[in-house]
Chains A and B, each alone.
Chain A
């Protein structure tokens, strides 16, 4: 089911160059879309069109099978989570009030707001003690977690995120990305995520949309983008960084060859790798130990299969 569709959408400022140029695209329920492209490519504009923050001139945008023109914008926005950089938190409200904000707009009672805030702050990995604090008392990473919790408060199907991790340090960003990925897996929300960081786009997106000059240059899975670029632009834009990022997020679980029958004994002289480790980790081990293959083990340390370099190749054969 398509939760979001763009049909021939165009937008220009002062009848000059089109910032969005006859763009058509649809997003299915549960997808994690990462929008990337050079600055000025229209990715943020496209995102803000979805919740009506930026109007468009031509075409149709449908949210949950209803044209934006037929939506009450206020109602629509309350049904869509919206996360921007940390500064978007309300400085005069406690963390609890910030998280409960949309619920308060919807007129839900205070008890429900508090309950939800307590539940969500745990979900994003913060202690309930933080509820009584103010945003300025939190670190960048903590603020960002609160931002995510706030977007989830009214249990929206769609969440829009505009470079949410742009203002935090590298280490925190990596942690937040991992958490975001896990959260998406757990909650199965449809997420549209704007970023200018190609590694972030590869790591998070179930589908990646590359834009330039108001158009979609290529959209597809990580594998399609990396190993079957349809244009020179895609090839150039993704570069070698994205290949690293790809291997760095590819779990062994997705590529290893399981044993036919259950094997209980571990071949003694072989190095092992966990199911949850990444392909990058596996390759490093193989190079370091000069091996052709690794034994894959599960959480209970049981050997469940084998991992070789060719396995990755099979994954990316399109």
Chain B
């Protein structure tokens, strides 16, 4: 066991350039996917919170997509958009939608009606309501959704290499195909490390937002 871990560490040292490149690729791929998911997901979430009739059908579709096994989805996408980063990106974006849309929707629709009513009663326009009242109040829950989505995307990014995308999945995939378990573990550990670090940072952000919304206690 110790021997194995030492081999993994040696691998990091010997092939540091290779791992740094893969990590950067992985961050880049995840980052692009996360930006897409956040923008599209929050927009859809806000839209269905405003037009409640749309909420159920939209959430059902997103839920359904979420239940498709990732390997199956990759297979389908390869047939449509081919092999490479583009297919991987589409798959990541599609999967990440659920937590983002659902949390945005729930966060906005659970704001107390009386708060909304008093805001409107004082002459708040629709845009002001969204920017000054709804989004700030929904922020902690939206960030919580964002956090889940980011961790999920980074993890799922590891599988994206199966359809020819870059990232740490390349190391995992290579380890598997060449019976080189150290390589697989080395790649996996980096994926996990990346996810944990990002999760910790976002956790702090969420805490700050929560404190801000719930009101800080003056010392």
Using a CB–CB cutoff of 8 Å, the interface residues on chain A facing chain B are: 48, 51, 53, 74-79, 82, 84-85, 87-92, 101-102, 105, 132-137, 150, 160
Contacts and interface: CB of A to CB of B under 8 A. Distances in A.
Interface string B167-190: 000000000000000000000000
B210 to A, nearest CB: 11
Interface stretch (B30-38, B59-67, B119-127, B198-206): B119-127
Interface stretch (B41-49, B73-81, B211-219): B211-219
Contacts of A77: 120-123
- Sorting the interface of chain B by its residue count into under 10, 10 to 19, 20 to 34 or 35 or more gives 20 to 34
Nearest to B216: A134
A260 to B, nearest CB: 53
B128 interface: yes
Contacts of B137: 90-92
A82 B115 CA distance: 12
Contacts of A136: 214-215
B133 interface: yes
> What are the 5 A-B residue pairs with the smallest beta carbon separation, nearest first?
A134-B215, A88-B118, A78-B123, A77-B123, A82-B121
A84 B214 contact: no
A150 B115 CA distance: 14
B164 interface: no
Given A92-B137, A132-B218, A105 B124 contact: yes
Given A91-B215, A92-B213, A102 B114 contact: no
Nearest to A138: B215
Contacts of B82: none
Question: Looking at chain B's contact residues, is the secondary structure mostly helix, strand, loop, or mixed?
Answer: helix
A200 to B, nearest CB: 20
Contacts of A92: 136-137, 212-213, 215
A256 B211 CA distance: 57
Contact of B120 (A53, A85, A90, A102): A53
Contacts of A48: 121
B17 interface: no
B75 to A, nearest CB: 46
Interface in B138-155: none
B14 interface: no
Contacts, number: 69
Contacts of A51: 121
B56 interface: no
Interface of B: 112, 114-115, 117-125, 128, 133, 136-137, 212-218
A88 B125 contact: no
Residue of A77, A85, A150 most packed against chain B (CB within 10 A): A77
Contacts of B120: 53, 77
Contact of B215 (A78, A137, A160): A137
A88 B117 contact: yes
Contacts of B133: 90
A53 B117 CA distance: 8
Contacts of B216: 134
B112 A87 contact: yes
Nearest to A147: B118
B196 to A, nearest CB: 30
Contacts of A76: 123
A137 B218 contact: yes
Given A92-B136, A137-B215, A74 B119 contact: no
Contact of A88 (B115, B124, B212, B213): B115
A75 B122 CA distance: 9
Contacts of A137: 215, 217-218
Residue of B122, B213, B214, B218 most packed against chain A (CB within 10 A): B122
A75 B216 CA distance: 33
Nearest to A86: B114
B114 A84 contact: yes
A90 B124 CA distance: 13
Nearest to B111: A91
A78 B122 CA distance: 5
A4 to B, nearest CB: 16
A268 B151 CA distance: 87
B112 to A, nearest CB: 6
Contact of A87 (B115, B121, B214): B115
Contacts of B117: 53, 84, 88
Given A74-B125, A91-B137, A105-B123, A135 B118 contact: no
